[in-house]
Amino acid sequence: MSELSGYRFMWMVVMFDLPVVTKRQRKRATKFRNDLLDLGFEMAQFSVYMKFCGGRAAADALATRVGRQVPAQGRVSILVFTDKQYGRMRVFSGGSRESRAAERSQLLLL
């Protein structure tokens, strides 16, 4: 397996369903979303955030950091998968399939 193998690089997806009935719950849910943005995540959908990770160790460390931010109420799921699997994702918008960008260019510093 080469150094730039799509099986080495990882993606992390954080999906959550947090209560937002009270003002305090809304504030906590907003804080959690902002915490994810501060950790470098990008919003894919309102309750789904994604981030590219360099490898399994980086993904594991990031999952630990996200876990520290999880509110006491609600549900948060973390999914980690390879860059190769990410490339096979199908995205639909308005019933039509969106074209995916060509292979990600990745800078490797040695």
Query: How do 48-53 and 10-17 pair as beta strands?
Result: antiparallel
Tell me, rounded to whole angstroms, the distance of Cα 45 from its chain centroid.
10
Nearest Cα to Cα of residue 110 among 9, 6, 4, 1: 4
As a whole number, mean pLDDT of residues 15-33 equals 96
For 27, the enclosing helix (H) or strand (E) is: helix 23-38
pLDDT digits over 47-90, tens only? 999 999 989 999 999 999 999 999 999 999 999 999 899 889 88
Tokens 């902002």 identify what position?
A: 34
Contact 6, 88 (CB under 8 A): no
The CATH classification of domain 10-86, taken from the options 3.30.70.240, 1.10.357.10, 3.30.1510.10, 3.30.565.10 = 3.30.70.240
Nearest Cα to Cα of residue 84 among 14, 12, 5: 5
Domain ranges of the chain: 10-86
- Between 26 and 89, residue with greater pLDDT: 26
